[in-house]
Amino acid sequence: MWTSTNPDIVRAVALYGTFALVGLALYWRRDQPQRVGLAITCTVVAFGPLLAVNQMAIEFGWWSFAEVAGRFHAVPVDLWLTWSLLWGVGVATIAPVRASLPATASVVALFLVADLVIMPLYDPTVSLHGSWLVGELVAVVAILAPLSLLARWTLRGEHAIARGLVQSFGFGVAMFYALPMAVFDVTGEDWSTLLGRSFGWWLMIGVAVSPFGLLALAGVWEFWTTGDGTPVPFDPPKSLVVSGVYAFIANPMQTGMTGVLIGFGVLAGSWPLAATALGAAAFSAGYAAAIEHEELVERYGQAWLDYRQQVKLFRLRRTAYRPNAVDPSGQVNEALRHERSSEQTSHHAAGYQPGRV
């Protein structure tokens, strides 16, 4: 149908048509902030994996792209963006909340059918090869289906660990695949140094960064299990998390990932890649921390202020932080109250007068 069309026209129609559809979808859900936040989350989660799938498509011959301007490692950036938006925003805005899992599966089927119709229309920008349906199946199983489940679970407020795993997969691919690709695109480096490292190098870097990785994982786990939420700003914990590793450091995830990224950059032989970790840490400690502080003061008030006064960024406490026995909503935390009562009883029995915690 489009075989005689200029690739630039195909790309323009796809890009501006996507923007129009996304705008309509977000306008439709404008009175549901959670849906809008979920749309942003799903788009970001899909972004890195979709680049990986398109790179796999080129490598395995599922489809290829015309040599047009505005490509990122042979993938037209506008098509990469439109695919991320269509799946991310689309799934987030139409995902059923109270329907059964078959209804969620029907959303996946709807997007699959739409993809089967739309993909051939991208010709000549996208050239489909005989096995392109294999690539389509990989994209659906690895990205679209998890996105649909993420949307359903988030809207229903359930399965925090599963939500976090889907988010972590998307962000992990973006951080350890898309980000290095972007750095390599500027520096002219590639994956050869990383892939050519000896076992000794992998072991040495692994040992060096493992404490940072465990610190980040402990922070994520505390959000999932104690806070019943995730690190994503649009899907935060339902309560202030000051337990576990958060009793010792205020940003275990940022601190941990900074160390892991620096180690990854050293292993890849790319100092610019390692430097991105320091840039991310500076952003986290500066602008991002200020925005987070304002939001958490509004949500938790004095409880958050007390916590941040005693627990610092990028610096471990020697002893665990002990919050007051009253939670941010003003209701007494029975577990803490009982624990403190027991401690005070034992202290008084020994003739000890307790001071401030």
Q: Mean pLDDT highest for which of 10-19, 259-268, 330-339?
A: 259-268
Q: Which residues contact 87 (CB under 8 A, 6 or more apart)?
A: 42, 43, 46, 50, 111, 143, 144, 147
Contact 308, 250 (CB under 8 A): yes
The 10 Å Cβ neighbour count of residue 13 is 14
pLDDT higher than 50, residue 347: no
Q: Which residue has the tokens 């995830």?
A: 253
- How confident is the model at residue 287, as a pLDDT? 66
Half-sphere exposure of 215 (CA within 13 A, CB side): 23
Element containing residue 262 per DSSP (H, E)? helix 252-267
Q: Which residues pair with 63 in a beta bridge?
A: 128
Q: Are the C-beta atoms of residues 352 and 344 closer than 8 Å to each other?
A: no
Q: Around 150, how many Cα atoms within 13 Å sit in the side-chain half-sphere?
A: 35
| Six token digits for residue 90 | 């689309």
Between CA 322 and CA 333 the distance in angstroms is 13
Nearest to 251 by CA among 266, 236, 261, 241: 241
296 vs 52, residue with greater confidence: 52
* Among 27, 33, 23, residue whose Cα is nearest residue 235: 33
Per residue in 187-225, pLDDT (tens digit) is 999 999 999 999 999 999 999 999 999 999 999 999 999
Domain boundaries, the chain: 1-158
- Do 64 and 129 contact (CB within 8 A), yes or no? yes
Write down the pLDDT at residue 1: 42
- Cα 158 from Cα 228, distance rounded (Å): 8
Task: Cite the DSSP H helix spans in 66-178.
Answer: 77-94, 101-118, 132-139, 145-156, 160-173
pLDDT above 60 (res 52): yes
What's the pLDDT at 286?
75
For 260, phi then psi, to 5°, come to: -65, -45
pLDDT (mean) for 244-256: 93
Longest Cα–Cα distance of the chain, Å, equals 92
Which residues fall within 8 angstroms of residue 71, CB to CB, at 6 or more apart?
A: 65, 77
Give the Cβ contact number of residue 356 at 10 Å.
4
Distance of CA 313 to the CA centre of its chain: 21
pLDDT of residue 350 exceeding 60, the answer is no
